[in-house]
Amino acid sequence: MTRKLITGGTVVTATETMRADVLIDGEKIVGLLGADVESPEVDLAIDATDRLVFPGSIDAHTHMEIPFGAATSKDTFETGTRAAAWGGTTTIIDFPIQMKGDSLIGSFEQTMAKAAGNSAIDFGFHQIVGDVNEQSLAELNLVLEEGVTSYKLFTAYPGVYYSTDGEVARVMQWAAGNGSTILMHAENGSAIDLLREQAIARGDTSPLAHALTRPAEMEGEAAHRVILLAEMTGAPVYIVHISAKQVVAEIAAARRRGTNAFGETCPQYLYLELDMLDQGFEGAKYVCSPPLRDPGEGHQKALWQGLAGGDLQVIATDHCPFDFEGQKTLGRNDFTQIPNGLPVVEHRFPLMVHAALEEGRFSLNRMVDVSSTAPAKMFGLYPQKGTIAVGSDADLAIVDPGAKVVLSAESHHMNVDYSCFEGKELTGRIETVMSRGSIIVSDGKFVGKQSHGRYLRRGLNQLLQ
């Protein structure tokens, strides 16, 4: 067993900021030593003087190599988990997708075959249920036995992933019976399809029309509906990739009623805006669903307040990268053919460090909570993941808070030909990243092993009220 000591740093968790040396034995943290404690003998000491030592971050929403229309998201588990590591993320939760007519357990096994042996960091899965029928309802139990305790359904994308209210309610009933959490992509797909057809019919084919045909009200409406379905069935519900203030309000109201309703937003909804789609076809770089919103309508303010104040619990990415050339361009003459999704997995944690250090959006402790600790608790990984404590996995991100970095497609490691944060300067540089005691990023260089990542069997939601 290799013993390592991280010396001289400031350890930041969701609840504490302390000067402590972190003692690691093999894969686990075995001690947090105060400045007055004599340093033990170790095989390797890492000097973290003037550095912040954070728990390795958790991205609870990624899509490596998934089909979307005619395209497949560009990052594989190999490239995407490496890029995540560069950004201080040591765990991802990705999604097997059951398409219409597919076996549910078959889709789980196929995604496991892609990820196992090819991931640089640990990974878990949420299961997408794209075809609710008797067979898939039976197979849900097989997926649950594999340690998958969260299931995603869609009120969006009719004809593809969409489920009716009755189908959503049926899977929620099953989840309520065993404590699993239901993830919802909440947009009113049917009303949105009407607006999309009308836009195309009048020749409005540009990327901006993608956003204008997915109004915030239709995100709020769907969130309201699925929260009431969750109340009817008793299942915990977690609304993914929230972009609209209406959804924050729905979750806040539901939580006040005692409902187990939770919310996730993503850096793109906090930092990018509707105008970015309004630059001819270049706007396709910013096409995702739900869409970027007009900050003048107060959406970003509500999302930041939700994260800082607790109405929203998690910051994830919905990482789903497509090249501009050859993939986004599939929709050059018709926005409905642009594959939806943005490349974000590498930049989520650095953006949140910047938001705390430079912008004062929230304390460093709250930042750790929304980006590491709450996702670990939400998805049954705590305290193995999501904190720095004796007995936890030695997943760590050491940050120089005095350094600046500039985000760019020239320097990022995601397998995609553009950056949606091109030129943005951030305060804080991720220097060293450790996964289960192994150094995987050192002085900004990837030194990990591609097969290092392990599948995480997860427990139930630990944030139920």
Binding residues for ligand URP, rule: CB under 6 A, are 63, 185, 241, 288-289, 318, 320, 340-341
User: Which of 192, 399 has the CB closer to ligand URP?
Assistant: 192
Residue 340 interacting entry, from Zn ion, ligand URP, none, C-beta within 5 to 8 Å by type: ligand URP
Is the distance from CB of 415 to CB of 80 less than 8 angstroms? yes
In the complex, the smallest distance separating the C-beta of residue 66 from ligand URP, rounded to whole angstroms, is: 7
Give the CA angle between residues 271, 275, 281 to the nearest 5°. 115
User: Which of 289, 461 has the CB closer to ligand URP?
Assistant: 289
In the complex, the smallest distance separating the C-beta of residue 160 from ligand URP, rounded to whole angstroms, is: 10
User: Which of 168, 320 has the CB closer to ligand URP?
Assistant: 320
Q: How far apart are CA 453 and CA 435, in angstroms?
A: 8
Q: Tokens 């497949």 — which residue?
A: 72
In the complex, the smallest distance separating the C-beta of residue 21 from ligand URP, rounded to whole angstroms, is: 41
- 420: amino acid identity, one letter: C
Residue 317 interacting entry, from Zn ion, ligand URP, none, C-beta within 5 to 8 Å by type: none
User: Which of 48, 64 has the CB closer to ligand URP?
Assistant: 64
89-94 β-sheet, strand order: 57-59, 89-94, 122-125
Q: How far apart are CA 33 and CA 41, in angstroms?
A: 13
Applying CB under 5 A, which of residues 75, 318, 369, 393 lies at the interface with Zn ion? 318
User: Which of 259, 268 has the CB closer to Zn ion?
Assistant: 268
In the complex, the smallest distance separating the C-beta of residue 145 from ligand URP, rounded to whole angstroms, is: 25
Q: What 3-state DSSP class applies to 125?
A: strand
Residue 354 interacting entry, from ligand URP, Zn ion, none, C-beta within 5 to 8 Å by type: none
User: Which residue number is nearest to Zn ion in terms of Cβ?
Assistant: 185
Q: How many CB atoms lie within 10 A of CB 404?
A: 12
Determine the size of the site formed for Zn ion (CB under 5 A). 2
User: Which of 170, 328 has the CB closer to ligand URP?
Assistant: 328
Q: How far apart are CA 182 and CA 172, in angstroms?
A: 7
Going by C-beta distance under 8 Å and a sequence separation of 6 or more, which residues neighbour residue 282?
none
Q: What 3-state DSSP class applies to 238?
A: strand
Asked if 185 interacts with Zn ion (CB under 5 A), we say yes
Helix (H) or strand (E) holding 106: helix 104-115
b/e sequence 198-224, b meaning 16+ C-beta within 10 Å: ebeeeeebbbbbbbbbbbbebbbbbbb
In the complex, the smallest distance separating the C-beta of residue 277 from ligand URP, rounded to whole angstroms, is: 13
Q: Which stretch binds Zn ion (CB under 5 A): 8-16, 180-188, 203-211, 248-256?
A: 180-188
**3-state class percentages of the chain: helix first, strand second, coil last, to nearest 5:** 35, 25, 45
Residue 288 interacting entry, from Zn ion, ligand URP, none, C-beta within 5 to 8 Å by type: ligand URP
User: Which of 185, 196 has the CB closer to ligand URP?
Assistant: 185
Asked if 65 interacts with Zn ion (CB under 5 A), we say no
User: Which residue number is nearest to ligand URP in terms of Cβ?
Assistant: 340
Q: How far apart are CA 426 and CA 355, in angstroms?
A: 9
In the complex, the smallest distance separating the C-beta of residue 378 from Zn ion, rounded to whole angstroms, is: 16
Q: What 3-state DSSP class applies to 183?
A: strand
Half-sphere exposure for 15 (CA within 13 Å, toward CB) = 6
In the complex, the smallest distance separating the C-beta of residue 410 from ligand URP, rounded to whole angstroms, is: 25
**Assign residue 124 a region: left if phi > 0, alpha if psi is -120 to 50, beta otherwise?**
beta
User: Which of 185, 366 has the CB closer to Zn ion?
Assistant: 185
Residue 90 interacting entry, from Zn ion, ligand URP, none, C-beta within 5 to 8 Å by type: none
In the complex, the smallest distance separating the C-beta of residue 318 from ligand URP, rounded to whole angstroms, is: 5
Could you list the residues that contact Zn ion (CB under 5 A)? 185, 318
